[in-house]
Amino acid sequence: MAAPMRKHGTAIQRLYVALTQAWTLESRATTGVFHSQTRNASSKTSKAKKSKKTRVFAPPVMQYMKSPLLSTHIGEEPKDNVWFTSDYPEPYFTFEEAIKRHKLMAQPNLYDYMDSYVFANMVLSSWTNREGNYTSLSRSVVVPHPFEQPKKARCAVFTKHKDNVRKAIEAGALHAGGTELLAQIQTDQISVYELDHILSTTDMFKQLKPMRPLFGEMFPTEKNGNLSEDIPKMMEKFLNGVLLKIEQTKTRGVANIKFPIGPLSMTLEQLSDNLETLKKEVHKARPLKVTGIYVLQLEIEVPPSPTVFKLDPEKYDSKELLKKKH
């Protein structure tokens, strides 16, 4: 009985060895095919990446806004001294004409609003060279002829020293403090959207870095002038300066900005100088490489008067690219 058992055991061993060899050969072949397929796929992917061209976003060409009733107009300018306004396009006025007409109606013996503020309302093309990114601006600008702002700016000052906190509050800051003020903003006890400016001293700069996405354009930097050790000087600039803030509309690539240029009681030259300074700052917000029309519409208004004068936007558009941005 021992010999048959040895033969039977030998047969099983041979079968086991044969199956093991077959499995090894099959696994090697499969592995080789897999590796070859992987190499081919990776080479195809690398070739596809090399051949793929970078798509460049081309901003659409914007046009100056025209009246929707343009097709019903019977001419460009009326020939008589009496006409239907629907028959002709709205005329453009010069800045001098607009101010003179408002001053005439604002006399004390008429509507008496000489102390009201003159506002410039701009409609801008906010397209940039990157799809989904639009022109943004939130900055306080000191004009050549300063004036008291119609709306007091809401400022928050970050500083660790108690003396600086006291100086900021005395200068007119809405909030001032260090880590405790930062904690109130992080817990939404104080909303960033209720602030116009965020100022800081250098000792709080590192702690504010994680808040950059939330603060956005208001984030303190030396370039914008809201990061400094001289708190009274910063407060004077941001409380007395004109706030320029571009707001995007529901229409893609179109934005609005409205800002005061001074009280109507100022001289024409003073108002003109302020408008020119603020206009340049608005143009600096546009990326250098973006060309085409920027100012789509410009209006001058003096609330509470309902009269709005349209200015020719081509005369206030940027014809040349700004070489330096300050």
Q: Give pLDDT, residue 2.
A: 47
Q: Give pLDDT, residue 273.
A: 96
CATH number (domain holding residue 186): 3.40.50.790
The total of structural domains in the chain comes to 1
Task: Give the list of residues 6+ apart from residue 176 with CB closer than 8 angstroms, or none.
Answer: 156, 157, 158, 159, 164, 165, 168, 169
Separation of alpha carbons 88 and 72, rounded Å: 8
- 105 pLDDT band (50/70/90 cuts)? very high
Average pLDDT over residues 211-231: 90
Average pLDDT over residues 105-116: 90
Q: Give pLDDT, residue 32.
A: 53
Number of C-beta neighbours around residue 256 at 10 A: 15
Q: Is 230 within the bounds of a domain? A: yes
Average pLDDT over residues 202-207: 93
Bigger pLDDT: 196 vs 41: 196
Judge whether residue 295 has pLDDT over 50.
yes
Q: Is 40 within the bounds of a domain? A: no
Average pLDDT over residues 34-47: 54
Q: Is 174 within the bounds of a domain? A: yes
Q: Is 168 within the bounds of a domain? A: yes
Q: What is the per-residue DSSP string for 235-270?
A: HHHHHHSEEEE-EE-SSTTEEEEEEEEEETTS-HHH
Judge whether residue 185 has pLDDT over 60.
yes
Are the CB atoms for 257 and 282 separated by under 8 Å? yes
Q: What is the pLDDT of residues 275-284, one digit of tens each?
A: 999 999 999 8
Average pLDDT over residues 270-276: 96
pLDDT, mean over the chain: 82
Are the CB atoms for 261 and 275 separated by under 8 Å? yes
Percent of the chain topping pLDDT 90: 47
Judge whether residue 33 has pLDDT over 50.
no
Percent of the chain topping pLDDT 70: 76
pTM, whole model, 2 decimals?
0.70
Kindly report which listed range (19-33, 121-135, 303-317) carries the lowest average pLDDT score.
19-33
Q: Is 37 within the bounds of a domain? A: no
- 240 pLDDT band (50/70/90 cuts)? confident
Domain that holds residue 238: 109-116+131-242+281-306
Q: Is 160 within the bounds of a domain? A: yes
Q: Is 27 within the bounds of a domain? A: no
Q: Give pLDDT, residue 70.
A: 45
Q: Give pLDDT, residue 7.
A: 46
Q: Is 66 within the bounds of a domain? A: no
Judge whether residue 88 has pLDDT over 90.
no
Task: Give the list of residues 6+ apart from residue 194 with CB closer than 8 angstroms, or none.
Answer: 154
Over 39-98, what HEC string results? HHHHHHHHHHHHHCCCCCCCCCCCCCCCCCCHHHCCCCCCCCCCCCHHHCCCCCECHHHH
Average pLDDT over residues 49-72: 57
Q: What is the pLDDT of residues 151-174, one digit of tens each?
A: 888 999 999 999 999 999 999 999
Q: What is the per-residue DSSP string for 189-204?
A: SS-GGG-SEEEE-GGG
Residue 75 tokens read as 């001419």
